[in-house]
């Protein structure tokens, strides 16, 4: 799964400009974004344009009786996504992208968890493939939510975690956001692992383990945990 990520203000501004979107709202850099919070996203409009919106991370299907289950749908598995009741209509009609600077995954080392930070080479910003949904409570209160799509890990992430978020290459964003495209046969081929050789992995501070911690300190490089107190240090191809 993808349960935390980073978005720096300068990266959001660069992506908005690249995708032709204007957003007058102020945004502060965030280094430990977790499900349940409102996150920036970009989606197509009915007028063939694009807009920046704030979506609560954790999808609530439109047919759900309440919003309590949203936290369980922070991620949507790419495999079979077109057949799953919670996601199939959103895949056809309500796709979006979520800007990011990087993301975290945790590696189990004995009884401990080592956080790793993944980002693109040269620290280029990117977008996750995501779905959004509009839900309304019985008393008429509206809520817009989203889910990040995950896939099998690439060679860099595989030693650390069994899933990774879908990162869309620049050439795939237009197709993903195209409202006239509704067929899963055109969309599902985009939901594949991003190239491992275009990414970098860095072990970071366990500060990020707690959602209460924020700030660039979460990205401080750390010595990887050892498998045993007297064992060899874990080794990964970090590019």
Active-site residues: which are they? Answer: 2, 105
Cβ neighbours of residue 56 closer than 8 Å, sequence gap 6 or more: 36, 37, 38, 39, 70, 143, 144, 145, 146
Question: Cα–Cα distance between 59 and 81 in angstroms, integer?
Answer: 14
- Local structure of residue 153 (DSSP, 8 states): -
Torsion angles phi and psi, residue 177, rounded to 5: -90, -5
Angle (nearest 5°) at CA 115 between 196 and 7 = 70
Show the DSSP H helices in 109-208 as ranges. 170-177, 184-187
């Amino acid at each position: 799964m993808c349960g935390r990520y980073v978005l720096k203000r300068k990266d959001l501004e660069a992506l908005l400009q690249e995708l032709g979107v204007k957003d007058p709202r102020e945004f502060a850099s965030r280094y430990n974004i977790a499900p349940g919070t409102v996150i920036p996203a970009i989606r197509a409009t009915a007028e063939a344009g694009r807009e920046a919106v704030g979506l609560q991370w954790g999808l609530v299907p439109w047919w759900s009786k309440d919003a309590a289950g949203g936290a369980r749908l922070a991620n949507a598995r790419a495999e079979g996504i077109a057949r799953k009741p919670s996601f199939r209509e959103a895949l056809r009609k309500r796709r979006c992208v979520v800007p990011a600077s990087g993301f975290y995954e945790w590696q189990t080392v004995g009884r401990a968890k080592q956080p790793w930070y993944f980002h693109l080479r040269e620290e280029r910003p990117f977008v996750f493939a995501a779905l959004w949904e509009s839900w309304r409570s019985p008393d008429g209160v509206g809520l817009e939510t989203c889910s990040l799509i995950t896939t099998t890990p690439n060679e860099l992430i595989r030693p650390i975690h069994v899933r990774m978020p879908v990162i869309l290459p620049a050439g795939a964003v237009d197709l993903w956001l195209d409202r006239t495209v509704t067929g899963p046969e055109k969309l599902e081929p985009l939901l594949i692992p991003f190239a491992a050789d275009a990414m970098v992995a860095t072990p970071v501070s366990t500060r990020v383990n707690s959602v209460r911690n924020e700030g660039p300190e979460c990205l401080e490089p750390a010595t990887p945990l050892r498998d045993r107190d007297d064992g060899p240090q874990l080794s990964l191809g970090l590019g």
